[in-house]
Structure 1
Amino acid sequence: MDRQTVVVLFGGRSSEHSISSATAGGVLAAIDRDRYAVIPVGITREGAFVLEEDDPAKFALDAAKLPEVVDNGTRVRWPEPGGDRMLRVAAPDGSTVDLGEVDVVLPILHGTHGEDGTIQGFFDTLEVPYAGGGVLDSALCMDKHFMKVALQAAGIEVAPWVTVRRRAWERDAAALRAEIEALGMPLFVKPARAGSSVGVSKVTDPSELDAALEVAFVEDEKVLVETGITGREIEVAVLEGADAVRASLPGEIVLSSRGFYDFEGKYLGGDGVDVVCPASLTEAEVAAVQDAGIRAFEAVDGKGFARVDMFLTPEGHLVVNELNTMPGFTPISMFPKCWIASGLSYRDLITELIESALRR
């Protein structure tokens, strides 16, 4: 069987560059090489597209030294619309080499300039198929404010929140502070357009608010201040198949000594957190979580796949926290764990993502 050519695209200009690179290590190690020819393309922190080594070990997740894409002097030349789909690379000496015709791109990019609809629009313009979310759902879910607006409009419960823009805070902090105080304590302060818990703080006293906002403003001039929801942290993986959207068995984030599921707990094996899948839920609770995940995915016009995070309150309510249109694929990430628990191997999961893109 002729192999189809897949470009695995990773790195990027966001603060999640290293997590994207670590995800690439997992994907490069697991992708079905009998079915796909793979071209690894990295994006440096400055935004240059470079041809990378096809070496999963180079991008292993190591807390002591997080992986990254380093500028090696090459420059990838993408196909132009209406022409062939030949991918080319310019070497540092100026010579150009054909790498092969691209069938599909697997963009495993986290954060801005990758998970926010920009790279999706780029490939739409080039008429190159790509896996995962499209322009609209990527942009909506990257901006937590508008994601909440879309979910609320679909009748899906979300945590109460106040959106704070830096300029408005500098102009009239007192008015915004009054709105925020009405939310009660504890609060979570998070950048509207960042992920992997970068810039997120838990606030348990009003005196902590200003410092938390400053941390979040480093990442984004727009910040969400949310009511802390008491409940179990449940996550479900959603996948767009050939015939229908389906949801995995739910997983659970179990916190013991950690205040919330922060960057260290997600990626660096920090103490005080366990990622459990499947979660210990009744059949009715599993069905409700899966239904909520699919409804949330459809509410944002989801494409390809997503991880839907929610809280299950002691009263049995499901409160959707967020959708992640490019969930982590690192060895300790929830998205692949939930599909593995549901009977779909890591390799077959990657195949489904690619085939979904080719169908689309």
Structure 2
Amino acid sequence: MNSPIPINTLLICGGGGSEHEVSLRTADFIQHRLAVVPDIALTRVEMDANGRLTGSDGEIYQLHQDRQLYREDGTTQPVHYVIPSIHGYPGETGDLQSQLGLFGIPYYGCGPEASKICFNKITTKLWLSALGVDNTPYQFLCSSEAEETAKATMALQEWGQVFVKASNQGSSVGCYKVSSTEELERALDEAFRYSPYVLVEKCLRVRELEVAVYPYDGELVITPPGEVCPPEDAFYSYEEKYNDASRAVTHVEAQGLSDAQRGWIREASCRAFIGLQLKDLSRIDFFLTEEGDIYLNEVNTFPGMTSISMFPKMMENAGHDFSHYLSSLIHKAMKTNDQ
């Protein structure tokens, strides 16, 4: 019997940004899960801040528009599929996906427009409102001029406590919890270093709920909500989210939710996934207030897949195998691309 023709799959990780190291850990998870799939030949490269690709052998690689991966010695190999395992820029921002689209190479994850919309916290909120999905009260600032920052001061006075967030950063990077005008000034300065737009969001006492959304064997799966319980003295910071020594407690299924609450979370997740034209995966985060209000907080188009990450845990809890899930997406893309 002839062996199946291998699908040359390029795993691009790193990115050189603030989430470089976590991107490598996500790539470790994906590489391990695909190692059991016999017809997928995986090549892993690490991208630096200048877009240079380095292989595990130390060689420099270049991906060209002819869908060939070139080594420094001039040898090439075809690339049939790409997995952009990069959190933050340029993986979650749509930049890398745009390039792959120009090259005509199918890839894992959301397209460039959906990625760009969801990576920007402000445009996410505008789209969610248009889709009829409630989100937390906010102001957004388009500059650090006094007229704009005055809106932040008024929000702090009205709400008592706010989050200041750089609009186009992921995983709690550039996010600050603020209770005083002195803290507000420092937080705005820091946030504007990350982003030209800044979100000022009402701070609420909430339960933090998450669902994983992905296609599996032809059906769109929306998992039961999981829950993240950050330490009482801090919000769910970047360090708490990805540090193996995190003090945050996670529950793969949240307890004590009513059928109505679960139903609305499912409905809002479906509206977001379909309305934003997401593809292959997302982790959608919600806030449940003490008053019972539910707000969609964030749509993450490429969630972390580390040893403590919720997306793979919720998929496993739903009875689904990650290796089968991802290899099925790759095989489906190959059939579509051949047509």
TM-score (norm 1): 0.85
Corresponding residue for 1:225?
200
Q: CA deviation at 1:30?
A: 1.7
Distance 1:112 1:265 in 2: 21
CA distance in 2, matches of 1:73, 1:334: 34
SS at structure 1 position matched to 2:304: coil
- Aligned length, in residue pairs: 331
Are the structure 2 counterparts of residues 148 and 17 from structure 1 closer, same or farther at C-alpha, using a change threshold of 3 Å? same
Q: Which residue of structure 1 lines up, in the alignment, with residue 293 of structure 2? A: 317
Report the counterpart of residue 16 of structure 1 in structure 2: 19
Unaligned runs of 5+ in 1: 54-71
Structure 1 distance, partners of 2:259, 2:39, is 37
Would you say the 8 A contact 2:141–2:149 is kept in 1? no
Contact 1:239–1:245 (Cα < 8 Å) also in 2: yes
Q: Does 1:44 align with 2:22?
A: no
Change (3 A) 1:27 1:135: same
Query: Aligned partner of 1:349: which letter?
Result: Y
Counterpart position of 2:33:
30
Cα distance between partner residues in 2 of 1:309 and 1:352: 26
Q: Given the alignment of the two structures, is residue 153 of structure 1 paired with residue 145 of structure 2, yes or no?
A: no
1:291 to 248, 262, 267: 267
Pick closer, same or farther for the CA change 1:355–1:205 going to 2, 3 Å.
farther
Q: Mark the CA change 1:79 to 1:177 in structure 2 (over 3 Å): closer, same or farther.
A: closer
> How far 1:2 sits from its partner (Å)?
2.9
Deviates more, 1:147-156 or 1:283-292: 283-292
Amino acid at match of 2:167: A
Separation (CA, whole Å) in 1 of partners of 2:22 and 2:224:
24
Where structure 2 has 5 or more consecutive residues not aligned to the other structure, the ranges are none
Residue 142 (str. 1) matches residue 119 (str. 2):
yes
Q: Which residue of 1 aligns with 2:8?
A: 5
Distance in 1 separating the partners of 2:102 and 2:246 = 44
**Is the CA contact (8 Å cut-off) linking 2:156 and 2:162 kept in structure 1?**
no
Q: TM-score with structure 2 length normalisation?
A: 0.90
Q: 1:89 to 1:258 in 2, by over 3 A?
A: farther
State the percentage of identical aligned residues.
Answer: 31
Map of 1:192 onto structure 2: 167
- Whether 1:201 aligns to 2:176 is yes
**Cα contact 1:4–1:103 (8 A) shared by 2:** yes
Query: How far off its partner does 1:338 sit?
Result: 0.6
Question: Structure 2: which amino acid aligns with 1:17?
Answer: H
Corresponding residue number in structure 2 for 1:259: 234
* Aligned with residue 76 of structure 2, among 73, 98, 108: 98
Matched ranges for 1:209-248 at <5 A: 209-241=184-216, 243-248=218-223
Distance 2:149 2:94 in 1: 35
Deviation at 1:353, TM superposition (A): 4.4
| Range with bigger deviation, 125-134 or 190-199 | 190-199
Give per-residue Cα distances to partners, 1:113-132, cap 9 Å, x unaligned: 22111111100100000110
Q: Residue 96 of structure 2 aligns to a residue in which SS?
A: helix
Q: Residue 63 of structure 2 is aligned with which of 49, 56, 77?
A: 77
Q: Which amino acid aligns with 1:330?
A: T
Distance 1:149 1:255 in 2: 27
Q: Aligned partner of 1:97: which letter?
A: T
Counterparts in 2 of 1:89 and 1:263: CA distance versus 1, 3 Å: same
* SS of the residue 1:139 aligns to: helix
Shift of 1:310: 0.6
CA distance in 2, matches of 1:180, 1:257: 23
Contact 1:161–1:224, Cα closer than 8 Å, also in 2: yes
After TM superposition, list the pairs within 5 Å mapping 1:155-194 onto structure 2: 155-165=132-142, 168-173=143-148, 175-181=150-156, 183-194=158-169
Cα 1:357/1:254, change in 2 over 3 Å: farther
Q: Identify if the C-alpha distance between structure 1 residues 279 and 102 changes in structure 2 by more than 3 Å, giving closer, same or farther.
A: same
